[in-house]
Structure 1
């Protein structure tokens, strides 16, 4: 009887300890990102290997966007501020241009400066073909990017993507309206 009680206590204690373990990300996905090569706003090469070992949040934007990209970029600036306030130093922000022929490194730098971007942990990417970014976005981020035959407004969605240290997308969030900053921060802490 004593052994059974002791065994039961050990089992209960073990269950309690395991419940105190690492928190899971709610509604997580696991989408691996294929390797890529791009050019930063500083005209330097950057690829997936450069982001391995870091948690990052990414978005798709373009500098001549007439509607959603400026608010999305402002929202990422707010996220950057919140990351600093939470002392989350090893988190990167990555903005992929969906209009790479227009968005040269110089154009991306001017665009980012308009929003007061701190380039310490935020990189803007270009230097690939339109065909590449359309295929890359669809295959890896499960999102649409399409530059129409006429006009200069590229079709794309307004999500933010949380990527873990292994280069796997773990969750998507609204990046345009009602951005869930607290949820993003908590999910980042779970991956740290």
Structure 2
């Protein structure tokens, strides 16, 4: 009888620990909804939020004339892309230009190819007005884009935004330096479970 109780207790404890390991949560989940959009990708094709439905994706903001934060951010995004692919995770990457009047599809494609040979799961977007991207970034990503008159540089957020299959922003992470690659990959795995 005593032995049965011990075995039963052991089984209950095992089940509790096993189930606790399966129900991982992402701390401080944001759940900000990305507003609907239809823009133009680096191939000159229309690309919309609908293309990303059902997919986990990582977004950032860049521009091709950037002389400070964008090159390291884009290199870091390329590294994250490699890590995700090494883990065999299905993730799409999206870089929104914050200087759409300068950043044509061809220019974005040329820029992207400086960082990776494979743009099949990395979309660079343009094809909107400066006002549209300022509004979209503010409304969806809770960030600021600032372009001063007569200045070819654009102020913008330097984060990577993790977005779930329903188009909701889960978390954001440093994108320029000290990128928490392992944490991002772990959070992607949790979302895809």
Q: Which runs of 5+ in 2 are unaligned?
A: none
Contact 2:55 2:92 in 1 (8 A): yes
| Unaligned segments of structure 1, at least 5 residues | none
Over the residues paired in the alignment, what is the CA RMSD in angstroms?
1.9
1:170 and 2:170 aligned: yes
Distance 2:12 2:86 in 1: 40
Determine if contact 2:29/2:170 at 8 Å carries over to the other structure. yes
Aligned to 1:151: 151
Distance of 1:107 and 1:67 partners within structure 2: 18
| TM-aligned CA deviation for residue 146 of structure 1 | 1.4
Contact 1:174 1:180 in 2 (8 A): yes
DSSP-derived class of the 1:58 partner: strand
Tell me if structure 2 keeps the 8 A contact 1:31–1:140. yes
Greater shift in the superposed pair: 173-182 or 19-28:
19-28
- Distance in 1, matches of 2:121 and 2:12, equals 45
Aligned to 2:52: 51
Paired residues of 2:62 and 2:97 also in contact (CA < 8 A): yes
Structure 1 pair 142–96 and aligned structure 2 pair: CA distance change class (3 A): same
Paired residues in the alignment total: 188
Hey, what does 2:22 align to over in structure 1?
21
Q: Give me the whole-angstrom Cα distance separating, in 1, the residues matched to 2:176 and 2:99.
A: 19
Q: Structure 1 residue runs of 4+, over 3 Å off?
A: 8-18
Aligned residue for 1:183, secondary structure, equals: helix
Distance in 1 separating the partners of 2:21 and 2:66: 45
1:101 alignment counterpart: 101
Q: What residue in structure 2 maps to residue 67 of structure 1?
A: 68
Q: SS in structure 1 opposite 2:96?
A: strand
Question: Which TM-score applies when normalising by structure 2?
Answer: 0.91
Look up the SS of the partner of 2:94 in the other structure: strand
Give the secondary-structure state (helix, strand or coil) at the position aligned to 1:20.
helix
Superposition TM-score, scaled by structure 1 size: 0.91
Does the 8 A contact of 1:77 with 1:117 survive in 2? no
SS across alignment from 2:22: coil
Other-structure match for 1:39: 40
